[in-house]
């Protein structure tokens, strides 16, 4: 009879990887090396909301330029956004979108919707197609 799954970190993969590494070495082969590809951002949706996460390191090629770079940006009281790409571009873009959403909120008398922020970000990305390189993941906060 198998044990029920419990929440939390599972060390099964660590043991498996150590075993596989030993087996591969016995065969005279080597495992592929891990490759760094840049910013890590993610979002997790659950019943009552969304959790956004991002790393904090900003690099210039192989050099770490900033060990504490904020990649989760404020858009409005109910919307935050994770950004990847040129730090200055992501910061300025989120500030512009935040300002435009604030004006929209003042004119409508309501909190902005994520769909509105998403549309504004898409329009900005389209207008600056070849000038700016970045990616965004907007996420709502339910109050």
Catalytic positions: 39
Q: Which of 92, 83, 11, 78 is nearest to 43 (CA)?
A: 83
Place of tokens 């951002």: 41
């Amino acid at each position: 009879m198998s044990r029920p799954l419990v929440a939390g970190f599972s060390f099964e993969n660590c043991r498996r990887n150590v075993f596989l590494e030993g087996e591969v070495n016995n065969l005279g082969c080597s495992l592929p090396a891990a490759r760094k590809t840049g910013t890590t951002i993610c979002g997790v949706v659950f019943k009552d909301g969304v959790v956004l996460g991002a790393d904090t390191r900003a690099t210039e090629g192989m050099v770490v330029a900033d060990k504490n770079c904020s990649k989760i940006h404020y858009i409005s009281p109910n919307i935050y956004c994770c950004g990847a790409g040129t730090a200055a571009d992501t910061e300025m873009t989120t500030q512009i979108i935040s300002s435009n959403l604030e004006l929209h909120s003042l004119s409508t008398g309501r909190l902005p919707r994520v769909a509105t922020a998403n549309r504004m970000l898409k329009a900005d990305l389209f207008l600056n197609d070849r000038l700016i390189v970045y990616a965004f993941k907007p996420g709502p906060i339910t109050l």
